[in-house]
Structure 1
Amino acid sequence: MLRRVLILLILVFSNSSFAQGTFKRTLKLMGSRFDITVVAHSQIEADQYIDLAIAEISRIEHLISSWDSNSETSKINANAGKQAVVVDKELFGLIKRSIGISKLTQGAFDISYASMDKIWKFDGSMKTMPDASEIKASVEKVGFENIVLNENNSSVFLKLPGMKIGFGAIGKGYAADAAKALLMKKGVIAGIINASGDMNTWGKQTNGSPWNIAITNPLNKEKVFAMLPVDNQAIVTSGNYEKFVKFNNVRYTHIIDPRTGYPSTGLISVSVMAPKAELADALATSIFVMGKDVGLNFINQLKGVECIIIDESGTVYYSDLIKPKP
Structure 2
Amino acid sequence: MRSALIYIALFTSMLTIAQQNYKRTLKLMGSRFDITVVANDETSGNAAIDKAVAEITRLEKMISSWDSTSQTAAINKNAGIQPVYVSTELFELIARALKISQLTQGAFDISYASMDKIWKFDGSMTAAPSPDAIAQSVAKVGYQNILLDKKAQTVFLKEKGMKIGFGAIGKGFAADKAKALLMADGIVGGIINASGDLNTWGTQADGSDWKVAITNPFNKSKAFSWLPVVNSAVVTSGNYEKYVSFNGKRYSHIIDPRTGYPTTGIISATIFTKDAEVADALATSVFVMGIEVGLDFVNQLKGVECILIDDKGKMYTSENIDLENEE
**Worse-superposed segment, 222-231 or 157-166:** 222-231
Structure 2 residue aligned with 1:31: 30
Structure 1 residue aligned with 2:123: 124
Shift of 1:208: 2.0
Structure 2 residue aligned with 1:244: 243
Q: Could you give the per-residue CA deviations for residues 140-196 of structure 1, whole angstroms, max 9, x where no partner exists?
A: 000000000000021000000000000000000000000000000000000000000
Aligned-partner Cα distance in 2 for 1:251–1:11? 59
2:320 aligned counterpart, secondary structure: helix
Q: Which runs of 5+ in 2 are unaligned?
A: 1-6
Q: Could you give the per-residue CA deviations for residues 277-304 of structure 1, whole angstroms, max 9, x where no partner exists?
A: 0000000001111000000000000000
Shift of 1:11: 9.9
Aligned-partner Cα distance in 2 for 1:245–1:175? 31
**Worse-superposed segment, 201-210 or 141-150:** 201-210
Aligned-partner Cα distance in 2 for 1:81–1:228? 47
**Worse-superposed segment, 151-160 or 241-250:** 241-250
Aligned-partner Cα distance in 2 for 1:246–1:274? 32
Matches within 5 A, 1:278-317: 278-317=277-316
Shift of 1:224: 1.6
2:163 aligned counterpart, secondary structure: coil
Cα 1:113/1:17, change in 2 over 3 Å? same
Matches within 5 A, 1:157-176: 157-176=156-175
Aligned-partner Cα distance in 1 for 2:315–2:109? 27
Shift of 1:206: 2.1
**Worse-superposed segment, 209-218 or 170-179:** 209-218
Q: Could you give the per-residue CA deviations for residues 66-108 of structure 1, whole angstroms, max 9, x where no partner exists?
A: 0000100000000000000000000000000000000000000
Aligned-partner Cα distance in 2 for 1:181–1:73? 23
Structure 2 residue aligned with 1:105: 104
1:153 aligned counterpart, secondary structure: coil
Aligned-partner Cα distance in 2 for 1:22–1:142? 44
Aligned-partner Cα distance in 2 for 1:321–1:99? 27
2:119 aligned counterpart, secondary structure: coil
Aligned-partner Cα distance in 1 for 2:12–2:155? 55
Structure 2 residue aligned with 1:203: 202
Identity %: 63
Aligned-partner Cα distance in 1 for 2:269–2:65? 26
Aligned-partner Cα distance in 2 for 1:249–1:13? 65
Shift of 1:209: 2.1
1:322 aligned counterpart, secondary structure: coil
Shift of 1:225: 1.6
Shift of 1:222: 2.4
Aligned-partner Cα distance in 2 for 1:261–1:20? 50
Shift of 1:13: 8.0
Aligned-partner Cα distance in 1 for 2:280–2:11? 44
Aligned-partner Cα distance in 2 for 1:200–1:39? 14
Q: Report how many aligned residue pairs link the two structures.
A: 318
Shift of 1:221: 1.7
Aligned-partner Cα distance in 1 for 2:246–2:150? 46
Kept in 1: contact 2:107–2:285 (CA 8 A): yes
Aligned-partner Cα distance in 1 for 2:170–2:323? 31
Shift of 1:201: 0.3
Cα 1:12/1:73, change in 2 over 3 Å? same
**Worse-superposed segment, 224-233 or 102-111:** 224-233
Cα 1:256/1:157, change in 2 over 3 Å? same
Matches within 5 A, 1:71-110: 71-110=70-109
Q: CA RMSD in A?
A: 1.8
Shift of 1:248: 1.6
Kept in 1: contact 2:35–2:193 (CA 8 A): yes
Letter in 1 for 2:313: G
Matches within 5 A, 1:261-272: 261-272=260-271
Aligned-partner Cα distance in 1 for 2:9–2:76? 61
Aligned-partner Cα distance in 2 for 1:15–1:209? 15
Cα 1:298/1:15, change in 2 over 3 Å? closer
Letter in 1 for 2:260: G
